[in-house]
Amino acid sequence: MESGAEGREDVADTRERAGGNMTDAGAAGRRRSGGDRLTPGLALRLTVAFFLPPRFTPRSVRYDRRYRKLDQYRFIVWFLSLPVLVYGVFVVSPFLQAFFYSMTDWTGYSASYEFTGFENYERMWNDDKFWEATRNSLLLLVVAPVVTLVMGLFFAYMLTAGGRRRNEAVAGVTGSGVYKIVYFFPQVLSLAIIAVIWARIYSPRSGALNAGLDAVGLDSWQREDWLGSSWAIWCVLVVLCWSFVGFYVVLFSAAMSAIPTEIYEAARLDGAGRSVTFFRITFPLTWETVRTGWIYMGIQALDAFALVNVMVPEHGMDVLPSYLFEKSFRDGQAGYATTIGVALFVITLLFATVMLRIGRRDRIEL
């Protein structure tokens, strides 16, 4: 707890100085820069030293005033080179190439294609199915994070501060450890498997959903076809939320248990109830985490591919990734599919930017 508090202080401190403990090093460097002149020989030695591990650094260099800065940059370059290389080659470059393929008529089966400029983009603009898939994706993008996060917050709050025990201002409900483990269960399965299991649940005759509705006397709510009808999007939404709530419970409980007990203590002394405590204290203090979680969940909702692809029949609704998939792998139109991928990318980017901007608020310093 104590180290945590100390850590937070440090963050505030770090942020304030915009860049961490580097500041004095940088300042020191600037002060020195007007000092002794950089001779060519020294420059050479500095350069050599830059590429050598510290232990081989020549003495003359080691005690040079510029050495500290050089040492730092050497370290930075040395530590970043490998991650940046791997990331650049395997993530960034394929994405950049993809933009090129979106302007071709490539089928996906052969090595040849022609450059078609913005034809695919024009076609996409006039493609009703594309817009329908976009609408569905946007619906998921808006609703899924809200539902999942609200549930995640509620459960997390109950588990960290929901219990009232004698002599303790905050405590989770009894058995919160068990809840946290079990809630996380859906996360250990890959989405493809989750989709198979849920497809069985939605199955009209032998599925648990219709059976359950029957059992509680809601027979009239039963449907002959959940996944092929206009209900499909809601069915997918439920599964999406189901599989991610556990993750957010764990994430939010972590954020909530980082809130110092004293604050709850004070609130309790003031006679605040649980809901007041939640809205006045817990929620504002975990807002940063919630916002991050929101973005992350939005991205998951945009990529509901495995769920839609496995659960929803071919003639049923589409979301952007599943439409992209069909175009690419069923219809042999990989070029056009890549164009849809670009659209998906743009939507994701817009969403994240909007979230980061509107969600920004002053950090509450503790």
Between residue 287 and residue 306, which ones bind other proteins under the rule CB under 8 A?
Answer: 288-289, 292, 296, 299, 302-303, 305-306
How far apart are CB 160 and other proteins at their closest, in Å? 10
Task: Count residues binding other proteins (CB under 8 A).
Answer: 158
How far apart are CB 64 and other proteins at their closest, in Å? 16
Helix (H, G, I), strand (E, B) or coil at 115: strand
DSSP string computed for 295-350: HHHHHHHHT-HHHHHHHS-TTS---HHHHHHIIIIIS--HHHHHHHHHHHHHHHHH
Q: Is 258 an interacting residue with respect to other proteins (CB under 8 A)?
A: yes
Query: Which residue is associated with the tokens 């002394």?
Result: 269
Exactly one of 61, 153, 301, 342 binds other proteins (CB under 8 A); that residue is 342
Q: Is 283 an interacting residue with respect to other proteins (CB under 8 A)?
A: no
Q: Are 180 and 159 in contact (CB under 8 A)?
A: yes
Between residue 5 and residue 24, which ones bind other proteins under the rule CB under 8 A?
Answer: 6-8, 10-11, 13-15, 19-23
Q: Is 33 an interacting residue with respect to other proteins (CB under 8 A)?
A: no
Q: Residue 202 corresponds to which tokens in the numbers above?
A: 């939605």
In the complex with other proteins, which residue's Cβ is closer, 42 or 119? 119
- CB within 8 A of 203, min separation 6: which ones? 210
Q: Is 27 an interacting residue with respect to other proteins (CB under 8 A)?
A: no
Q: Is 271 an interacting residue with respect to other proteins (CB under 8 A)?
A: yes
Q: Are 191 and 307 in contact (CB under 8 A)?
A: yes
Ramachandran region, residue 189 (left: φ > 0; alpha: ψ -120 to 50; beta: rest): beta
Q: Is 112 an interacting residue with respect to other proteins (CB under 8 A)?
A: yes
Q: Residue 324 corresponds to which tokens in the numbers above?
A: 């992209």
Exactly one of 124, 149, 245, 304 binds other proteins (CB under 8 A); that residue is 245
Q: Is 113 an interacting residue with respect to other proteins (CB under 8 A)?
A: yes
Q: Is 3 an interacting residue with respect to other proteins (CB under 8 A)?
A: yes
Query: In sequence order, what are the beta bridge partners of 168?
Result: 165
Q: Is 138 an interacting residue with respect to other proteins (CB under 8 A)?
A: no
How far apart are CB 172 and other proteins at their closest, in Å? 10
Exactly one of 49, 199, 233, 267 binds other proteins (CB under 8 A); that residue is 199
How far apart are CB 39 and other proteins at their closest, in Å? 25
Report the distance separating Cα 235 and Cα 223, nearest Å: 12
Query: Which residue is associated with the tokens 């490539």?
Result: 106
